[in-house]
Chain A
Amino acid sequence: MPYNNTIGNIANIPYWMGSQNPLYNIIGIIIYVIIISITFSIFGYVVGWLERKLIARAQNRHGPTYVGMWGFLQNFADLVKLLAKEDIIMERADKLLFMVSIPLILALSVFVILLFPYSPSLQATSLNFGLLIILTIIAFFPITLFAAGFSTGNKFAGISAQRSVLILLSYEIPTVLVVASIVLISGSYNMASIVASQSSYYYVLLVPIGFIVFFIALLAEFERPPFDLREADSELISGWLTDVSAPYYALALFIDYARMFLGSILIAILFFGGWLGPSFLPPFFWIVAKAFIISIFIIMIRATAFRMRIDRILRFGWEWLIPLSLINLIIAYILFV
């Protein structure tokens, strides 16, 4: 295996620097963080703009047009507007939890994003259990989301938090089961080696059922339509964001794109061969391009789907996704191990 570091070898993080000097390591970490942060900020911004633009086109509208070319700076203007507004924290809210929980969700997402390998030379660490760590951190989302919903003390936010936790808990299982089938085939929890083992076939060809299950489960986990019960605007006004205003609201909007980036990169790594691609462009370009296409697909679902009801979502998860992911696991075991 090309990337054979041992677990806990955090000091070796930027081994693409080719040095064991700790100073270089720290500089390497900083450069890495800056590159990834810029990438995913631009990615989130562009996807956010495209979301407004593409959905507008699907609905016979123009979308934003005034600020910047084709309204490209509209989201930026909205951000400035939100930051300039007064942030109101309700008296009934748990202030500490309220102020901590939303930044915490973003921090968790960014943490996961920083753990991904983006190319053979651009990865923070090559932990042998990288995938497991990422799944563990993703499992923290229900707690933080629940805290964010309940801390405002709003009833709509409370219902939204309950729904969100219910969905996350039941859709975590198929996610992990599908990941297990991938691990069976590739023989490693190391994401870099998972990507490397896809050089002949992308796993989407080997485990098509697994891909479909994983995609649906991720849509549900990141609460994109038709599973967007957390923000069900026709029922819960704005769900967990009902009482959230100004900078927190801007953060909360950004969380959506951070999580979408996270999910797209994860799908790209597990099923679409990560950074593998024709060599005339750098590997980093390919992984971001793949994630971008997946994100666009997720966006376009939003333009057409009706929202599902909570009992139906849960039943769908337990009756379809979990059996399918088990079948997928068995097929993967029989055929590829």
Chain B
Amino acid sequence: MTITRINIGPVHPSTHGVIRLVVDLDGDTIVKVEPHVGFLHRGVEKLAETRMYMQIPPYTEKLDYVAPLAYDEAYVATVEAALGIEVKERAQYLRVIELELQRIASHLLGIGTLCNDIGQMFTTFMWAFKDRDMVLDLLQEATGSRMFHVNMRLGGLHSDVPPDFVDHTISLMDYMEKRIVHYEKYIEKNTTFKERMVGVGVLTKEKAIELGVAGPVLRASGINYDVRKNRPYYVYDKFHFNTKTLYDGDNFSRYKVRMLELKESVRIIKAVARAMPDGDALGMPIKLRSPNPVNRIAVVSRELPRGECLLYMVADPQKPYRLSIRSPNMINLAAISHMAKGARFADLFAILGSLDIVMGCIDR
């Protein structure tokens, strides 16, 4: 048995950022995968200890640059929990809409890049990117920015949405429903796609718990855990939606969970947008001093598009004493050594694509 050791990355077309994978190959079969991370380490946790509370969202947003708004919200919610600030009702509805829009945008990119990793020449990627762009346009309408929104403020939002935002949202969601069905048909009827996905990179239920994976990866392995459902925040408990759980734990389930979540997100957005109350949604302006913390320690967990993020904050007046971030991507990536063992070399990238990692979030 001759082992070929191949070094993939830090610069490689399908590593989704800067990650280095050292792969040992026996022929075409993977014996061992060792991920090396840290190339995008920016020390956000340390940086947070030196900044005022509302100076930090721009940093936390850049952790997951594919779904920045979700991280923004997770951080601001932690601060709110520490300072004991209630979120206004309209702001809660708007936050849910924005979070779900962000989830749609993120999952579309995830599915697009997955198809790219399996070897399609950018077609699904480009289609998904166009639809993602329309979602980003809508987010721009709501927040004034396409990529890094920094829209969350203590107790509410930076700005209320324009009056026709709800109509635009519902019409875009009608369009999105059709598109999602279209993607599903287009991708899943492809036999090559199914061959590459079904039964590859299997993560059993027991192993998923043992490795502590998060989000769609956990739900694809048959564990029905979704923070939105199990510990509802904002108005998630007022609306009916299903968390999608599949039981195979292979690449295809991970992809399919994302696809089903897209549909659920569309449902949630429509319901929330229709039920949105009038009133004030503005939060505290940044210029004001934030109130002194009520709780010394705040622990908040949020369902980001890529999995559960848990923020542990020890609060000081005006700035955090310590901010610790549980990155869903990091623990998902750690599972790749187990999932890729025994798979074919080409499958490694299908597995990596199905994990849908973002390196900024892993390295922090």
Which residues between 321 and 345 of chain B lie within 8 Å of chain A, taking CB atoms? 344-345
B12 close to A226 (CB less than 8 A): no
B346 close to A306 (CB less than 8 A): no
Bound: A160/B17 CA distance, A: 23
CB-defined contacts of B122 to chain A, threshold 8 Å: 59
CB-defined contacts of B196 to chain A, threshold 8 Å: 306, 308-309
Tell me how many residues of B have a C-beta within 8 Å of chain A.
30
B193 close to A306 (CB less than 8 A): yes
Which residues between 16 and 37 of chain B lie within 8 Å of chain A, taking CB atoms? 28
Q: Which of A33-41, A135-143, A227-235 contacts B (4 or more CB under 8 A)?
A: A227-235
Q: Summarize B's interface: helix, strand, loop or mixed.
A: helix
B212 part of interface (Cβ distance < 8 Å)? no
Bound: A226/B193 CA distance, A: 11
Chain B 124-135 interface 0/1 with A at a Cβ cutoff of 8 Å (1 = within): 011100100000
**Other A-B pairs, 7, CB within 8 Å; known A235-B119, A307-B192, A310-B344:** A59-B125, A59-B126, A159-B345, A232-B119, A235-B348, A235-B349, A306-B196
Bound: A36/B28 CA distance, A: 42
B139 part of interface (Cβ distance < 8 Å)? no
A309 close to B120 (CB less than 8 A): no
Bound: A303/B346 CA distance, A: 20
B47 part of interface (Cβ distance < 8 Å)? no
CB-defined contacts of B346 to chain A, threshold 8 Å: 229, 232, 235, 307, 309-310
Do A308 and B195 contact each other (CB < 8 Å), given the known contacts A60-B130, A235-B346? yes
Closest A-B pairs by Cβ, 10 of them: A307-B119, A59-B126, A234-B14, A306-B192, A234-B117, A306-B120, A309-B346, A306-B118, A59-B123, A306-B193
A155 part of interface (Cβ distance < 8 Å)? yes
Give the contacting residue for A303; candidates B121, B192, B345, B349; CB below 8 A.
B121
Give the contacting residue for A60; candidates B126, B190, B347; CB below 8 A.
B126
CB-defined contacts of A233 to chain B, threshold 8 Å: 13-14
CB-defined contacts of B14 to chain A, threshold 8 Å: 233-235
A306 close to B28 (CB less than 8 A): no
B218 part of interface (Cβ distance < 8 Å)? no
CB-defined contacts of A304 to chain B, threshold 8 Å: 120, 123
CB-defined contacts of B349 to chain A, threshold 8 Å: 234-235
> Shortest distance in angstroms between B10's beta carbon and chain A's nearest beta carbon?
12
CB-defined contacts of A237 to chain B, threshold 8 Å: 12-13
Residue of B nearest to A306 (CB): B192
CB-defined contacts of B311 to chain A, threshold 8 Å: none
CB-defined contacts of B121 to chain A, threshold 8 Å: 55, 225, 302-303
Do A58 and B195 contact each other (CB < 8 Å), given the known contacts A237-B13, A307-B118? no
- Identify which of A159, A309, A310, A311 gathers the most chain B CB atoms within 10 Å of its CB: A309
B301 part of interface (Cβ distance < 8 Å)? no
Tell me how many residues of A have a C-beta within 8 Å of chain B.
28
Do A311 and B4 contact each other (CB < 8 Å), given the known contacts A55-B121, A58-B123, A306-B120? no
B6 part of interface (Cβ distance < 8 Å)? yes
> Shortest distance in angstroms between A186's beta carbon and chain B's nearest beta carbon?
35
B115 part of interface (Cβ distance < 8 Å)? yes
CB-defined contacts of A308 to chain B, threshold 8 Å: 119, 192, 195-196
9 contacts between A and B (CB under 8 A): A58-B123, A60-B126, A155-B4, A159-B6, A232-B346, A233-B14, A237-B12, A309-B344, A310-B344
Chain A 208-251 interface 0/1 with B at a Cβ cutoff of 8 Å (1 = within): 00000000000000000110110011110100000000000000
Chain A 298-322 interface 0/1 with B at a Cβ cutoff of 8 Å (1 = within): 0000111111111110000000000
CB-defined contacts of A228 to chain B, threshold 8 Å: 119
B143 part of interface (Cβ distance < 8 Å)? no
Do A305 and B126 contact each other (CB < 8 Å), given the known contacts A234-B116, A237-B13? no
- Identify which of A233, A235, A237 gathers the most chain B CB atoms within 10 Å of its CB: A235
> Shortest distance in angstroms between B118's beta carbon and chain A's nearest beta carbon?
5
CB-defined contacts of A85 to chain B, threshold 8 Å: none
A92 part of interface (Cβ distance < 8 Å)? no
Give the contacting residue for A61; candidates B126, B195, B347; CB below 8 A.
B126
Do A234 and B13 contact each other (CB < 8 Å), given the known contacts A306-B120, A307-B118? yes
> Shortest distance in angstroms between B197's beta carbon and chain A's nearest beta carbon?
10
Give the contacting residue for B119; candidates A59, A61, A226; CB below 8 A.
A226
